[in-house]
Amino acid sequence: MRTWVASIALVSCLLTSAAKASALVECVEETSQKQIAVHLDMRNWLVIRDGDLKDLARIVGDDRGFLVAQRVWDLNNITFLDVYTYDTKDLRLNKKTLWLVERKNEVAEFDNMVENYNYDCTQQ
């Protein structure tokens, strides 16, 4: 009997975690009103959908209701870093794009912030 109750409790806990991890939120950018969908998957990825386009950002931190994710990408031999900060309690998403500059005989560093977007999100 104890095994049966423990099994039900474990399955219930896993289902609750899976539902929370796979939650979908719709986000609207404050200035442009551009809409994106954000999905948190169980493999530690933040999935951002903009219409048919899909970006994957690796979650690198989780601190008291804030998720921090990053995505590195290249365009015309320039490396960029997208940093996403997602507030799971207030449902706010911030995206900053940084430009990586490589200096000779020095460690690469981030030079300028190229973009900064703030989104208000709603749970679906």
| Tens of pLDDT, residues 52-103 | 788 888 888 887 788 899 999 888 888 888 999 999 889 999 999 988 876 6
**In this prediction, what percent of the chain has a pLDDT beyond 90?**
29
Burial of 47 (0-12, 13-18, 19+ CB in 10 A): middle
pTM reported for the whole predicted model: 0.70
Can you point out the beta strands (E) in 17-91?
24-29, 35-40, 45-50, 53-63, 66-75, 78-87
